[in-house]
Structure 1
Amino acid sequence: MKKLILPIDGTKRSLQTATWVMNTYSTEEVEIVIVMVADSMDELRYQQEYNSAAQYMITTLKRNCGVLKEKGYQVSFEALFGDPGKEICDYAKENKADIIVMTKSTKENWFDTIGSVTTYVVKYAKCPVMIIPENK
Structure 2
Amino acid sequence: MKKILVPIDGSERSMKSLEFIKGLFPKDTIELTIMHVQELVFMNGMMIINEFENSKQLGQRIVDVASERMKEYSPKTYLSFGYAGEEIIKKSRDDDTDIIVMTKSTKRGLTKMIGSVATFVVKHTKCIVMIIPE
Q: Same fold, TM exceeding 0.5? A: yes
- Give the TM-score band, short-chain normalised: 0.7 to 0.9
SS at match of 2:26: coil
Tell me the CA shift for residue 76 of structure 1: 1.2
Aligned pair 1:12/2:12, yes or no? Answer: yes
Query: Which of the two has greater helix per residue?
Result: 2
Q: Would you say how many aligned residue pairs link Structure 1 and Structure 2?
A: 130
- What pairs up with 1:1-136 in 2 under 5 angstroms? 1-40=1-40, 49-69=51-71, 72-107=72-107, 109-110=108-109, 113-134=113-134
Which ranges in structure 2 are unaligned for 5 or more consecutive residues? none
1:115 alignment partner AA: G
Percent identity (aligned)? 36
TM-score (norm 2): 0.85
Contact 2:34 2:66 in 1 (8 A): no
* Aligned residues: CA RMSD: 2.2
Tell me the CA shift for residue 59 of structure 1: 2.1
Which ranges in structure 1 are unaligned for 5 or more consecutive residues? none
TM-score (norm 1): 0.84
**CA 1:94–1:64 in 2, change beyond 3 Å: closer, same or farther?**
closer
Q: Distance in 1 between matches of 2:87 and 2:117?
A: 10
